[in-house]
Amino acid sequence: MPLFILAAALVFTGCKKGPEKLIVKTWKVTNVMSKGTIQDSVFTVLKNQMMNAEMTFSDNKYTMTSGGNVIEQGTYSVVNENVTVTTEEGMNMNAVVTKESLTLDTPDFMTTLQPK
């Protein structure tokens, strides 16, 4: 019986999808929240632009598009279950990814995305 429990535990552990598998897809921006570090008028313009954006993650790279145009590209890495997204300008964003959502945390705002 203990062997069965061990085998079952290994099977269920093997089926678990970590962030490196969950992030690989296209995500649509659903919310952007300011942290109060930039002027409201500037944030409003940024938020309006970002609300139409999508991000596609694959092969440790991402592309952000809006209206079919590429607006940003960069990379991502997963180290010890922690996801870091890095813009082409070198800004790092901590990311939390689940099956239902992706949250990007920057010094100025938090962006929430859902699978497309």
- CATH number for the domain including 30? 2.40.128.270
Q: Where are the alpha helices (DSSP H) in 19-70?
A: 19-22, 40-50
At position 17, the amino acid (one-letter code) is K
Tell me, yes or no, whether 8 lies in a domain. Answer: no
Confidence label for 16 from pLDDT (cuts 50, 70 and 90): low
Rounded-to-integer distance, Cα 104 and Cα 112, Å: 7
pLDDT digits (tens, 9 = 90+) for 37-49: 999 999 999 899 8
**Domains: count for the chain:** 1
Question: Does a structural domain hold residue 5?
Answer: no
User: Is 13 inside a domain boundary?
Assistant: no
pTM, 2 dp: 0.81
Q: Tell me, yes or no, whether 78 lies in a domain.
A: yes
Nearest to 25 by CA among 80, 72, 76: 76
Residue 10 lies in a domain: no
Q: Is residue 75 part of a domain?
A: yes
User: What per-residue confidence (pLDDT) applies to 81?
Assistant: 85
Domain of residue 91 covers 18-115
Q: Is residue 12 part of a domain?
A: no
Residue 27's CB is within 10 A of a number of other CB atoms, namely 23
Are the C-beta atoms of 57 and 74 separated by less than 8 Å?
Answer: no
